[in-house]
Amino acid sequence: MEYIKYRFYQKANKCAKEFQRLKSEHADVVLGEVKLGQVLTGMKGIPLLVTDTSKLDPEEGIRFKGYTIPELQQKLPKINPDGEPIPEGLLYLMLIGEIPSQEDALNLSRDLATRAHVPQHTFDVIDAMPKTSKPMTQFSAAILSMATESTFQKAYRAGVNKKYFWDATYEDVMNLIARLPRVAAYIYRRQFHNGNHIEPNPRLDWAGNLAHMMGFDSEDIRRLFRLYMIIHADHEGGNVSAHTAHLVGSALSNPYYCYSAAMNGLAGPLHGLANQDVIFWIFEMIEELDTDTPTDEQVAEYCKNTLESGRVIPGYGHAVLRKTDPRFTAQQEFADKYIKDDKMVNLANQLYRVVPPILGSVGKIKNPWPNVDAYSGSLLYHYGIKEYTFYTVMFGVSRALGVLASLVNDRIYGMPIERPTSHPLSWFKEQAEGKGSDC
């Protein structure tokens, strides 16, 4: 068994035994009450999922296996000592639960490079779609098309014992993670660069190779891609894309099915599409104000008009967080360090000054602070990736790291099919008021 895979099995198998023990010995333990408001507002805060890769705290933000983003920036292996960590190190951490050595991270990087071959029919599927197709439509379809290569699907049909489901799932997961940069870059070059494709460079790291295949070879942009891929990699298990992959996977669908479904969720404007909505909204503001260097007063007035029209200010607020998103802060610090006097970056910083006080004055808004999407597009735009309809695809490449690592855990834990109970609205009315309704 390959070294990293064996390390994962050693660690995860102990956790799988603990999972089964808890299920057997403590099934009756009450975790908390469920309130009607939680059910009717998207199951907010109900502890329903086991996700070992990361945890989101409302006040502290995201931790990956217990580590904050600043800690990861300090501890994970890097290509250059003054640069950003490579995402392969984070994948290793989420799989095994330990900060990898430089050698471990580079071994994983080389392993992904050997797995990165994309079948020709996947390119054919992309090329068969109209160029007017949204990049996320092409991305989801391309992932689905690779299900023909599923190791898990073949093993299941061959009758493999369920205790080995994790093994075939691991192979699919690593193959899919390895292929996603190639697929994403192919879509980018097809749609925005007349199909002038760039072959992968297996000597580059996973994120650096994505930048290369998209046509960006400076060390500056590779540094940004590494940061981008790390901070977008996971956000515990309850967000739409992660939960979708888990739910579909609970039916023993192969990882390609699971992640294609997850990307259909990520493509929604209340989830991953928000990163391009931010840039679109900023351009609308620039056009209406007729300046790309507005005053704080002009920005405030535009924000108030946006809210009064019944729209939201994209990039602000979060379903869980109640503070400035640490992922926003990491990007802001990156800009402070490497970017001087860029208009889009300046606007992102200006919105951070202006928007929270306005949202804070609106009583119904619990979180007036920016999330990761409020900054990411400005950085990408600065480095020449101005096709903001592609931003969510980049998000999708990154999110695979955490979501698919979790899927392997699901299989090694032997998690059952997810099947919560549902009731008609009249049942909830009866619970709340003692009488039903005609609904």
Q: List the catalytic residues.
A: 271, 318, 373
Cβ-based neighbours of 403, under 8 Å, separated by 6 or more: 234, 241, 242, 245, 259, 262
C-alpha dihedral sign at 313, 318, 324, 328: negative
Name which of 306, 328, 316, 301 is nearest 365 in CA terms.
Answer: 316
Residue of 422, 407, 82, 90 whose CA lies nearest to 223: 82
CA-CA-CA-CA dihedral for 173, 80, 394, 407, to nearest 10: 20
Largest separation between any pair of C-alpha atoms in the chain: 67
Q: Give the H/E segment covering residue 15.
A: helix 3-25
User: 42 near 200, Cβ under 8 Å?
Assistant: no
Where does 50-97 have alpha helices with state H?
Answer: 69-75, 87-96
Q: Running DSSP on this structure, what letter comes out for residue 148?
A: G
SS3 at position 306: helix
Q: Which residue has the tokens 């292929």?
A: 179
Chain centroid to CA 9: 24
**CA pair distance 150, 144, nearest whole angstrom:** 10
In DSSP terms, 254 is beta-bridged to none
Owner of token pair 């097809």 = 190
**Distance between CA atoms of 380 and 137, rounded to whole angstroms?**
21
> How is residue 14 written in tokens?
């102990």
Measured at the CA of 68, the angle between CA 71 and CA 317, to 5 degrees, comes to 140
- CA 25/CA 17 separation, integer angstroms: 12
Tokens of 138: 């092409």
Burial 282-293 (b: 16+ CB within 10 A, else e): beebbeeeeeee
Q: How far is CA 54 from the centre of its chain?
A: 12
Please give the Cα distance from 300 to 361 (Å, whole number).
Answer: 12
User: Whose structure tokens read 């009607």?
Assistant: 36
